[in-house]
């Protein structure tokens, strides 16, 4: 797929060209990879959940705008199905006023393969990559910067991910029988973005492909290679839209923010 320069266009709401955070004190050393290649079968919409309407824009637009406003981000790569590239250009990018250059990369058969394709489209001169699911439209600039800043500040880290502490009692179950109740203080729910040193994540993906290993997220690939990954506490607002009821919650949260 080809690349698109900064997209300009009139958006349907004020947030389509929201003010950007002051970039003076932060190095723009990160390429964002926004994964939008899923079919959204569980969501039940033939358009795919990344294209459904959320507060006047396609759902994936909100993630794109957040990364465009993040001072750490120098470039954005959107991973989408090859037959949806024109739709992304027409229905999403043309409606946004973006300051950062945007490129498109083809999705793969799995999310892991899609991220690898996105990595291949990232420039070598940007040392960090931030992998984010387009289905998390409520990500905020402050969260992106916290994850990028954690990796930038600690040379011993291979990466950092957003996560929330587990608040529910957890049960280890075999069949339908409880066999243990683990200490929930050790458990966190992973989110995105997950930020890594580009060379480390690329090596982890190459090793996983060579060994035919499928991880549950990008951090798991880095962890199995011995990389140190830190959690950065996030908010519960950063939900993943998987089912129709999730969209209603995202809409309510976004409308509350816009009215604040």
In tens, the pLDDT along 233-249 reads: 999 999 999 988 999 99
pLDDT for 20: 53
Indicate the helix (H) or strand (E) that contains 222: helix 218-224
pLDDT beyond 50 at 220: yes
The pLDDT-based confidence of 37 (bands split at 50, 70, 90) is: confident
Model pLDDT, residue 192:
98
Report, as an integer, the average pLDDT of 155-177.
97
Domain ranges within the chain, ordered by starting residue? 27-259
Point out the least confidently predicted range of 2-16, 102-116, 206-220: 2-16
- CATH class of segment(s) 27-259: alpha beta
What's the rounded Cα separation, in Å, for the pair 139 and 39? 21
Does the pLDDT of residue 16 top 70, yes or no?
A: no
Of the candidates 255, 248, 252, the residue with the CA atom closest to the CA atom of residue 52: 248
Say if pTM beats, i.e. exceeds, 0.75.
Answer: yes
The pLDDT value recorded for residue 5 is 47
Question: Averaged over 164-184, what is the pLDDT?
Answer: 97
* Each residue's pLDDT tens digit, 81-99: 999 999 999 999 999 999 9
Q: Are 54 and 134 in contact (CB under 8 A)?
A: no
Does residue 126 surpass a pLDDT of 80? yes
Q: What average pLDDT does range 52-78 have in this prediction?
A: 97
pLDDT at position 42, please? 59
Q: Return the closest-CA partner of residue 143 out of 239, 222, 9, 248.
A: 239
Supply 39's token pair. 């079919």
The answer, yes or no, to whether residue 13 has pLDDT greater than 60, is: no
Q: How far apart are CA 222 and CA 202, in angstroms?
A: 9
What is the SS3 assignment for 27?
coil
Q: Is 212 left (phi over 0), alpha (psi -120 to 50) or beta?
A: left
- In terms of pLDDT, which residue wins out, 7 or 32? 32
Tell me what the pLDDT averaged over the chain comes to. Answer: 90
Mean local confidence (pLDDT), 43-60: 84
Which of the residue ranges 38-42, 53-57, 132-136, 169-173 would you say has the lowest mean pLDDT? 38-42
Task: Compute the distance between CA of residue 51 and CA of residue 84 in angstroms, rounded to an integer.
Answer: 10
């Amino acid at each position: 797929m080809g690349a698109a320069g900064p997209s300009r266009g009139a958006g349907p709401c004020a947030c389509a060209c929201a003010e950007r955070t002051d970039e003076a004190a932060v190095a723009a050393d990160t390429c964002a990879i926004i994964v939008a290649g899923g079919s959204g079968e569980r969501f039940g919409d033939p358009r795919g959940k990344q294209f459904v309407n959320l507060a006047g824009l396609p759902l994936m637009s909100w993630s794109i705008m957040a990364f465009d406003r993040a001072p750490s981000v120098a470039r954005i790569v959107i991973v989408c199905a090859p037959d949806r590239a024109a739709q992304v250009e027409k229905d999403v990018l043309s409606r946004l006023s973006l300051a950062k250059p945007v490129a498109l990369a083809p999705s793969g058969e799995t999310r892991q393969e899609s991220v690898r394709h996105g990595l291949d489209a990232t420039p070598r001169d940007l040392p960090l990559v931030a992998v984010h699911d387009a289905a998390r439209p409520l990500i905020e600039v402050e969260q992106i910067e916290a994850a990028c800043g954690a990796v930038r500040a600690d040379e011993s880290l291979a990466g950092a991910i957003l996560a929330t502490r587990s608040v529910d009692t957890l049960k280890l179950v075999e069949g339908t029988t409880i066999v243990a109740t683990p200490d929930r203080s050790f458990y966190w729910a992973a989110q995105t973005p997950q930020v890594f040193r580009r060379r480390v994540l690329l090596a982890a993906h190459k090793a996983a492909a060579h060994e035919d290993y499928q991880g549950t997220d990008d951090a798991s690939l880095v962890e199995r290679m011995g990389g140190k990954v830190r959690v950065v506490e996030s908010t519960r607002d950063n939900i993943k839209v998987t089912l129709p009821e999730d969209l209603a919650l995202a809409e309510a949260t976004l409308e509350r923010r816009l009215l604040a």
